Amino acid sequence: MSAINALAGSGAPAATGSRFNELSSEEFIKIIFTELQNQDPFKPNDSGALLEQLNSIRSIESDIEMSNRLESIVFQNQMSSAGGLIGKRVAGLTADAERVGGKVKSVARTGDEIALVLENGWIIPMDNVEYIDSETVPPPAGDGNDDAANP
């Protein structure tokens, strides 16, 4: 039985098949060279099929890398959008489905999600925001601004 057939496991349990999917390009190349060194010269294996599998693995690795980069860009964009809500009034549902609202004090990351932390202590996941007041909340009186003194 060839090394690839042993890994792919025709008729083998699913765990063996999933192990094949975990191979890196370098590991796969080692398997190809081992396969080529050990093949019967009178019954050569189809090296074209091996190269197709290698190209498939490279394509999958490239897709995974691109997906990870896109996820990172989306996350950064969400964080930036959430940051733009600091100081504004919002309303929405907490993670426990309680309807709350208030002024956004800060933005936090909870796992893979972005959440708004309100001044009243409530936390609203960004996906659960239902209302955003377009006006920034003015600072409270007596905060050191002398706007009242200027006519």
Please give the structure tokens belonging to residue 42: 């009178």
pTM across the whole model: 0.50
Instruction: Tell me the DSSP string of 65-126.
Output: HHHHHHHHHHHHHHHHHHHTTTTEEEEEE-TT--EEEEEEEEEEEETTEEEEEETTS-EEEG
d(CA 21, CA 17): 7
Of 125, 133, 131, 139, nearest to 82 (Cα)?
125
**Model confidence pLDDT, tens digit, residues 105-144:** 999 987 788 999 999 999 999 989 999 987 665 666 655 5
Q: Which residue has the higher pLDDT, 147 or 64?
A: 64
pLDDT > 60? residue 30 = yes
d(CA 26, CA 90): 51
